[in-house]
A and B are shown apart, each in its own frame.
Chain A
Amino acid sequence: MTGTWHRSRPVVWLIASLLAIGLWQVWEGSWMYAKAGLAQLLLQRAWTRSLEGEAMPKPWPWADTWPIARLRMPRLSVDLIVLAGAHGRTLAFGPGHVGSSALPGQTGTMMLAGHRDTHFQFLQELQPDDRLEIVGMDGTTRRYRVTERQVMDSQRDSIATSDERAELILVTCFPFDAITTGGPLRFVVRADAIPQADRS
């Protein structure tokens, strides 16, 4: 009982498994974060190809998504490639375009979703009147002005969309600094298109 516990196998095992779990979790966490950044590099290349006219260029051979727009926010130096489809698999690599919403260049609500702890972290710093830019696949840029930010509950709220207004909605999880995932709250940013003539 006295003084031998530290030599016992369970303690060695405890240390070994804590080490293993620790390294594994650190690796998984960092990989997830690194992936979010690395993927954007590959995506930038695919984006260039798409501007050159290639339809649905795959950023890597086994990808099941492709870039469809570029989201920029000059004030915070944000420059992201937006992917087709907003689901778990695409969101790891970049913000995703919600399939049922309008595409860049079309009128109507365009909706993008992104991870609050990687690509869409910058949403928390957005202020009303901030400018956002969406570059479409044809290379044209449309500018938006942030009009509204709100927190919604995904279990009960819905977002009004329109097929006539040119607007942009960005959705991410809330709160931004929550450690656990899977909460019901969403941070929703709404931005109105600035008419082409008015480039103030």
Chain B
Amino acid sequence: MLNEWFFLPRARLHRCARILMVCMALATSGVGTPPTDAGSAESPVTLSTGVVPTMGINEGTEGTLLFRTDQAGRFTPAPVLKTDVHIAVTGTIARATVRQEFTNPSTRKGDWLEGIYVFPLPETAAVDHLRMHVGERIIEGQIKERAEAKKVYEQAKQQGQRTSLLDQERPNIFTTSVANIGPGEHITIEIEYQETVRYDDEQFHLRFPMAVGQRYIPGTPVIIEGQVPTGSGTMLDTDRVPDASRITPPIQSPRYGSINPLSLSLTLHPGFPIDKVESSFHPIISIPDAEGGYHVTLRADAVPADRDFQLSWHPVARTEPIATVFTEQKNGQTYAMLMLAPPTQHDEKAPRVPRDLTFIIDTSGSMAGPSIDQAKRALAAALPRLSMQDRFNIIQFNHTVRSLFAGPQPVTTTTIKQAIHYTERLSADGGTEVLPALRQALKSPQESARLQQIILLTDGQVGNEEELFELLHQRVGTRRLFTIGIGSTPNSHLMRKAAEFGRGTFTYIGKVEEVEQKLERLFRKLERPVLTDVSVDQAGWSGLEQYPARIADLYEGEPIVLAMKADALPSHATLHGQVGSRPWSLPVSLNQTATQGGLSVYWAWQKISSLMDEATKEGRAEVTKTSVIEVALAHHLVSQYTSLVAVDVTPARPTDVPGTEPGQTTNLANMQLSALPKTATGWQLQLLLGLSALVLAALVRRLRNEVA
């Protein structure tokens, strides 16, 4: 055998290679691991003991709706649920009315159902109306504090009254519960919400989520409510356990699939001339109206709700920024939305502002892996795009601060080469000390002729709030601060506030996979400033409350939108700003403006968002809650602390028919598991790999010695 090896070195090499491969395969496949390991993205029912994936059962039949029964594994088919949608777009506000019809398909006497419908809405959606249609009657939902609304709902449910409750589970997940739907009965629930339209790539986009994918519902909150009791019962929200009779709460899957017919109509008043209206996935008919708007309907009367509806409209090309104002009078107050849109075409003649770019990048241990790699790639792509009049610097920090240059350096081939080399060598290790890095960045002198942008990227908890703001207060001056937070830990509130203070933006990157793409987008945006130092002439306004409080710069591809509330408006306002070093101003008429609904809601929503930022601050939670409830109640808004509840006072279910069990109320909330970090170090894999490499080294060496 040995002789054979001796004379057939090639075979021996093959043998070596085989051993190596076996070792590698062993290491990567995981010795002694059950077959359902890491790699399998979809892990089916069997493993999730106590958790039954919502629609895992019917995945094959594409979105069939099921009512769960009390017997595990048995389902009643759900009724066809009809959805009507009307959307009105004003400027960048889209106001949507969604009507959903709930039906109890059962013909058995006494089958009173409770429907729980989980649906996704865009992150920026503000829900302010809930109407319940029972026969001819319409019951308008009342806004109440969340716990109180729930109590009202529960009480009505016990008393056999038809009732409906709209809760916000998370910023983009809402649930509608409808109790006491009699056998064969229909109940229509109408909700109204509004959201802001997205602007990028020089066009506006509106998306109405129809097909629900991972994007909107990363988890499935339904599971918890409809789960078959496992005995322990702690996961169960017992007050939602069905009546003692046979049926558990019918669960309407968010993937309401192709059997759910949907009709949609839309009116569009963008506030500026537009070129064309396009729908990405559905054929539409769009008819222009007299006021420069459009009326849009789907070409088909009803479509299966199997893909999102997406509409885009392009503003007519122009080279100057334009401002549009919409106003609304409500309860003696004037609400206004001021939109300043950048030019759609790059004006080559416009003076280019020289920029000073300072990248502050977190290279602490937790950035290791995809975060740092993607940040490096985005940075390496952005560096060569700097122009000759720009200057730049790169600062990295972990427990120490390292700066590539002492201060921003002019762009030359040498410095860029140096920077790219420096970027390539960035590696993540150690702790996080943000303050010294920021201090270093703020050391270089301010220059009013240049646009000084500081980009701070971190995935850590930025503590020591007071010290940070004191530093910003003293040193930030005319510099702009853009903050980027990666992962689940960043102190969003603090970073958002810091960016607002520095007249920049805060970018939150929840998924590590998105780091490169989001950074790339931000870097590109920062290259094209149109207007800086934007301000609104304050003369003539009284009692003005405006969000955001400090106005950011105008960049190509992104409008500035201000939500304002005032006791009185002047007839004209003037916008001021700087194009490069040249002053710019634009008069805006305020009494000729189109009056539109929904602006007060928009303002209130902005106010709530800004208040919610405060909630994370220590000791502020209670104060925030009170202020949020105050604003939400005044503006009829569903929030984390308020819900809409509608009760039909006429009892529907005879009280001798078994009602729901009085359950203990637990305040249900959900924690996304995916928000938690990976909880394995993998030291065993490393040990195994290391040992296999050592064994191999010994093997190869022995072979060599034998040969010699």
Contacts and interface: CB of A to CB of B under 8 A. Distances in A.
Contact of B680 (A155, A159, A173): A173
Given A22-B693, A113-B677, A179-B685, A98 B489 contact: no
Interface in B677-702: 677-697, 700-701
Interface stretch (A26-34, A71-79, A135-143): A26-34
B671 A184 contact: no
Point out which of A24, A153, A156, A175 has the most chain B C-beta atoms below 10 A from its C-beta. A156
A39 B145 CA distance: 45
A47 B465 CA distance: 24
Contacts of B281: none
Interface stretch (B183-191, B300-308, B313-321, B428-436): B428-436
A63 interface: yes
B678 A157 contact: no
A88 B677 contact: yes
A182 B38 contact: yes
B35 to A, nearest CB: 10
Interface in B6-40: 6-7, 9, 13, 27-34, 36-40
The A interface is mostly helix, strand or loop, or mixed, namely mixed
B237 interface: yes
Nearest to B672: A158
B460 interface: yes
A72 B665 CA distance: 30
A192 B664 CA distance: 15
A120 B680 CA distance: 9
A126 interface: no
Contact of A63 (B218, B431, B679): B431
Contacts, number: 279
A114 B679 CA distance: 6
Interface in B243-301: none
B507 interface: no
B690 A22 contact: yes
A171 to B, nearest CB: 6
Contact of A158 (B13, B224, B365, B692): B224
Contact of A85 (B489, B672, B678, B694): B489
B679 A116 contact: yes
A185 to B, nearest CB: 6
Contact of A159 (B41, B673, B693): B673
Contacts of A147: 232, 234
A109 B33 CA distance: 32
B693 A25 contact: yes
Contacts of B39: 183
Given A88-B366, A162-B667, A164-B667, A181 B38 contact: yes
Given A163-B669, A175-B33, A158 B221 contact: yes
Given A23-B694, A155-B674, A158-B221, A184 B41 contact: yes
B107 interface: no
A183 B38 contact: yes
Interface residues of A, number: 84
A150 B679 contact: no
B436 to A, nearest CB: 12
B671 A161 contact: yes
B41 A148 contact: no
B232 to A, nearest CB: 4
Contacts of A151: 47-49
A40 interface: no
A173 B218 CA distance: 19
A91 interface: yes
Nearest to B227: A160
A179 B678 contact: no
A6 B47 contact: no
B522 interface: no
Contacts of A32: 681-683, 686
B708 interface: yes
B671 A85 contact: no
Contact of A29 (B218, B460, B487, B684): B684
Contacts of B368: 88
Nearest to A24: B690
B685 A180 contact: yes
A156 B7 contact: no
A194 interface: no
A95 to B, nearest CB: 9
Contact of A6 (B43, B214, B693, B707): B707
A180 to B, nearest CB: 5
Contact of B677 (A91, A167, A177): A91
Contacts of B33: 175, 177-180
Given A3-B6, A64-B460, A26 B690 contact: yes
A167 B234 CA distance: 10
A99 B289 CA distance: 52
B679 A153 contact: no
Given A6-B703, A185-B43, A162 B668 contact: yes
A178 B685 CA distance: 9
Given A3-B9, A157-B48, A173-B679, A178 B691 contact: no
A31 B40 CA distance: 30
A164 B37 contact: no
Contacts of B659: none
A89 B683 contact: no
Contacts of A182: 38, 678, 680
Contacts of A1: 9
A89 to B, nearest CB: 4
B665 to A, nearest CB: 8
A148 B50 contact: yes
Contact of A160 (B31, B224, B665, B683): B224
A19 B223 contact: no
Nearest to B694: A22
A86 B40 CA distance: 25
Interface in B35-64: 36-41, 43, 47-51, 53
Contacts of A2: 7, 9
B667 to A, nearest CB: 5
A199 interface: no
Closest 7 CB pairs of A and B: A25-B690, A183-B38, A29-B686, A22-B693, A26-B690, A158-B219, A22-B694
6 contacts: A6-B707, A157-B51, A160-B237, A161-B669, A164-B666, A173-B678
Given A24-B690, A88-B366, A164-B666, 15 more contacts: A15-B704, A18-B697, A22-B690, A25-B687, A29-B686, A33-B683, A64-B431, A89-B460, A91-B677, A148-B50, A150-B51, A158-B224, A160-B670, A173-B680, A181-B681
